[in-house]
Each structure stands twice: as C-alpha cells, then as structure tokens.
Amino acid sequence: MARAAKRSSAGRVAASAEVDARHMARCLELAATMRGQTAPNPMVGCVIVDARGRVVVEGVHRGPGQLHAEADAIAKLGKRSVAGGTLYVNLEPCNHTGRTPPCAPAVAALGLARVVIGDMDPIVSHSGGGKRLRRAGLHVDVGVLRAQCQTLNRGFRTWARTGRPHVVLKAGASLDGKIATASGESQWITSAAARHDAMQQRALCDAIVVGIGTVLADDPKLTVRGVRNGRSPIRVVLDSHARTPLTAALLPAQARDGVRVIIATSARATADGAAQRRAARLAAAGAHVLRLPSDQDQRVDLHALLTALTEFGVLTALVEGGGIVHAGFLAADLVDEILLYQAPLIIGGDGAPGWVRGTGAARLAAAPRFEFIAAPSTVGPDLVLRLRRTIDADG
C-alpha cells in the first residue's frame, strides 16, 4: 500500500510511493530518449525536486564521454537551490572516476535530504555511490520501479555481466512450434496484433539478426513500422558465404532509411575468390561486410559476432530466426530471453520447420532451461510467452 506523504522525524518531507514512482517513471522516460546512443553505457535519466516536491530540473545521459544524468541535471541547475529536496535516478550514482568525475560527491554537495535510486550499478568498480551518499548523511531509498529499471537497461546489465549484448530470440510459431509449412509458406502464422507487438519489441532493440535462410525465403525488410517514434535497429544477416542477393529488401539501396546493414560472413567460407567478389559487391551496395572467425561448421562464430556488434553500439540484439539460427544461438548458450508468439493453429508434418532446428540437446541435462519472466498472456488470438535463461548460482 502507498505510503502517505509525511514529515519524518528529521523534518524532511518523504514523498508517497505514488510520487516516487511518478518521478522514477519520468527518469525512465528521459533515459529511453537516448536508446541506441549510450552503449556501452546505460540509459539514465534524473529528476531533482525541491523541498516542496516541485520538479526543478531534469537530466539525461547522452553517451560515452558525456555528462552522467545527475551531472547533466546539476549543470542545468545553475544557482538554484534544491536544499532539502530529492534526487531521483534510475541507476545508482557512480562513485568512480572514468571519462567523467564521480557523481556521488557532486550529488552529496547539493544539500538534498533524500536520493531515490531505481537499481544498483551491476559494475562493482562503479558502484558504491549509494553508500557514499548515506555516509554523507542523505536518506537513500533503493528499488523504486526496480523491474522497469532493469528491463530498460537489460542490455547494459548483460554486457556488464558477460561482455556481450543481451540476446532475445523471437519467433512467431504455430501451437506445435512450426514457423513454416513443409512447402515453405510462413506468412502469416500469427495475427496482425501479434506482429504489431513484435514491431514494438524491435523498436526496443539495437539490432535485428536473421539467417541467410530467412532472407532467401522471405526477403524481409526488418524495419520498424507502425510504431510511434519507433527507431529501426541495425540489420544483421548471418551469411557465411556472402550469398545475400543484391536485390534484398533489407539492403540500403532498397530500404533507403539510413540504417546500418551488417552482412556477417565467416573467414573460412569466404576464402575463395567468388565469395570475396560477392562480399565486395555487397559492400559496394552499402552493406557493412564483416569477415568473422568461423565455427567448426565454417559458419559465423556467434561469440565473435556478438563481440563485433558491441563495437557497433549494440547492447540488445533481437534474433528473429529462422530455426537454424535459433538453434545456433541456443547451442552456444548465448540466449538471455525468449519471446515466442504462438498462434492457435497446428501445422504438423515432419517436413515443416520448427522454431528451433539443428541437432538439439542429446540429453535433458544439457538442454538449456528457461523460466517465465511473466505469466503467459495473449495478444489478439495468440499466446505470448516471455522467458529468460535460468542463470546458475555460479553464473
């Protein structure tokens, strides 16, 4: 139940839970305006209210080397006093000197009564800001809208833990898990409502990854359409031999949307002259052709791909199939989340591909386990399943 606004024993005004949540939601809104621009830094927004609870200033972090959100807000404050007020921020103020000075001492110097933090910093060497503020005598509350704060910065959190982007596998399948009929028909298995939901999910990611099988079968655009302020992510094709047709709808020449297109080839598969000429033609057509290390099947090494994507500012990658690519990410244990739309129809047949192909796990103990992030829900007539990889105690 919400705490009522009250004057604490120290004489400070403590806001109600609703007020805290409202200001934290604004921090998240500010932070999200910089989606795709902050990597490898997190998206952070900040709101400072005065002792009477009035918003005085807002701040946002714009990317590496730029002011942190708290410092941005403080810089805009000028000579105005926020003594006795409260600072809201969705990530713990940092306590370390990087490209910019630590935020915690600057926050402590404002004479505030209280700091409200959404989520703690997962990078140990950067954390400690909360403790430092408490030592300076401020009242520090942690965990307001924590789940939303963690979801917004899921890419940053995974990168901080693993050094690679956060990977979400997405598929639209039938009730029996098929993503096409045996004859290759795949449009559309799920409803327009589910596909619109999927468009919104695209807009939350920095890159969309598909396999060459999907490009050859469906010629997808891989853009964000019908989403207000929806920004199209970088498009990535896993294409070991550089077989992407020059007429592909996702290439810059056809799409004309200024979004970067990466064709990820493998070094061993592009060793011959013909493959290199195909790669050169794709580069001339505006694609960014990467020549990455090969896996044992001469395909693109997925660890190398993800490392390379981090260098392009990708913190969250949406892998949209097909089944062979999904199997590759699962076999490499590189899946953090699954987003599965299931339509109430049964395609059946051994020849119809499922949303996970490949050889699969030989033993149950080796099969990757997932847990539901939320209870299964529906969009239009379809089921929506959202799961995350179960992280081992030592992982």
Q: Smallest distance, Å, CB 165 to ligand NAP?
A: 15
> Pattern of binders to ligand NAP over 258-297, x per CB under 6 A?
-------------------------------------x--
**What are the Cα distances from residue 113, in Å, to 20, 25, 135?**
14, 21, 13
Residue 92 is among the residues annotated as catalytic for this protein = no
Q: Which of 18, 29, 58, 70 is catalytic?
A: 70
Token code pair at residue 227: 């989403």
Residues with Cβ within 8 Å of 117's Cβ and at least 6 positions away in sequence, in order, are 89, 90, 91, 92, 93, 130, 140, 141, 142, 143, 144
Measured from the CB atom, is 206 or 239 closer to ligand NAP?
Answer: 239
**What are the Cα distances from residue 336, in Å, to 120, 328, 339, 369?**
20, 14, 10, 11
Query: Which region holds residue 242: left if phi is over 0, alpha if psi is between -120 and 50, else beta?
Result: left
Q: Is 217 in the site for ligand NAP (CB under 6 A)?
A: yes
Q: Smallest distance, Å, CB 357 to ligand NAP?
A: 5
Q: Is 184 in the site for ligand NAP (CB under 6 A)?
A: yes
- Interacting span for ligand NAP (CB under 6 A) from 58-66, 67-75, 154-162, 238-246: 238-246
**Residue environment code for 5-41, b if the CB has 16+ CB neighbours within 10 A, otherwise e:** eeeeeeebbbbeeebbbbbbbbbbebbeebbbbbbbb
- Interacting span for ligand NAP (CB under 6 A) from 44-52, 132-140, 180-188, 280-288: 180-188
Q: Is 186 in the site for ligand NAP (CB under 6 A)?
A: yes
Cα 52 to the center of its chain, rounded Å:
36
Positions 321 through 340 that interact with ligand NAP (CB under 6 A): 321-325, 328
Q: Is 238 in the site for ligand NAP (CB under 6 A)?
A: yes
Q: Could you give phi then psi for residue 388, rounded to 5 degrees?
A: -130, 155
Residue from 69, 115, 168, 171 that binds ligand NAP (CB under 6 A)?
Answer: 171
What is the spatial distance between Cα 313 and Cα 303, in angstroms, rounded to a whole number? 16
Which residues carry out catalysis? Answer: 70
Positions in the binding site for ligand NAP (CB under 6 A): 171-172, 179-180, 184, 186, 189, 210-214, 217-218, 238-241, 243, 295, 299-300, 302, 320-325, 328, 353, 357
